[in-house]
Structures are given as C-alpha cells and as structure tokens.
Structure 1
Amino acid sequence: MAHGETGYLVESRDPLEWTAVLQTLLADPVTLSRLGTVARVYARHFDWAWTARRLAACYADLTEPRP
C-alpha cells in the first residue's frame, strides 16, 4: 500500500478522520477511479503462489534450529 498511489492510509481510529478521507475521495471521482485502477494492478502481485511462498518462508524460519 502506497499512500496516495494505491489508496489512503488512515492510521487514526477516529471516525471523523476516516469520514474526512472518504468524503475527499467521493468528491473526486477521477482520483477515486485512478486509485482503484492502480490498486487492482498492485493487488495482482499478491496471488496465492506469492502467499504460499511467504508462508513457507515464515514456517522455515520458525522451525529452523536456534543456538
């Protein structure tokens, strides 16, 4: 996720901040469409094969003998 490129990061738990970001996006359909297009392209990198490789790497690390 890249803020402003594939979406918007809202780190706050404050509903008013979330609302402000959503209102901004809804008021700008061109930006909303661009973000959606870029996000879909970006998301294609995270298919099941990628997920399986990452999970296998985590398991390998966790089961590796430690000194």
Structure 2
Amino acid sequence: MRRAAGSSRRGTALRDGAGAVSVVDAVVAATGESVGARVLTGDPGDLRQLAVASTRLDVIALNELP
C-alpha cells in the first residue's frame, strides 16, 4: 500500500530517519512516478530526475515540520 507524498508518517520517516526509505520509494513519493532500477543506471537523465525528486522531498519534509 502506497502512502501519498507528504503524509505525516512518511514525512516524519524522511525527516528523522525513523524508517528506512529506499531511493526508489523516495522518488515515487516525490514524483508519483515509479522509475524502478533506472535510477541506479547513472544515466544523466535518471540522475537529474533523482535530483529533482530529492529537492521535492526536502520541501515535503520542511512542510511536515511543526
């Protein structure tokens, strides 16, 4: 079962390390798209997508702060 990006539980896990979040899970949470193993290929397009997803996760985590 997938949680919506920015949900309290997922945001807390990303913020304080309470739960393990894989790179692929993080990309799915940030973008709503599954990129599967392509993230790990090193292709510049994949790495750019991961960077965008990482930025979105930072914003999600900041929005979760009290």
TM-score bracket relative to the smaller structure: 0.3 to 0.5
Structure of greater Rg: 1
- More helix by percentage: 2
Q: TM-score, normalised by structure 1?
A: 0.35
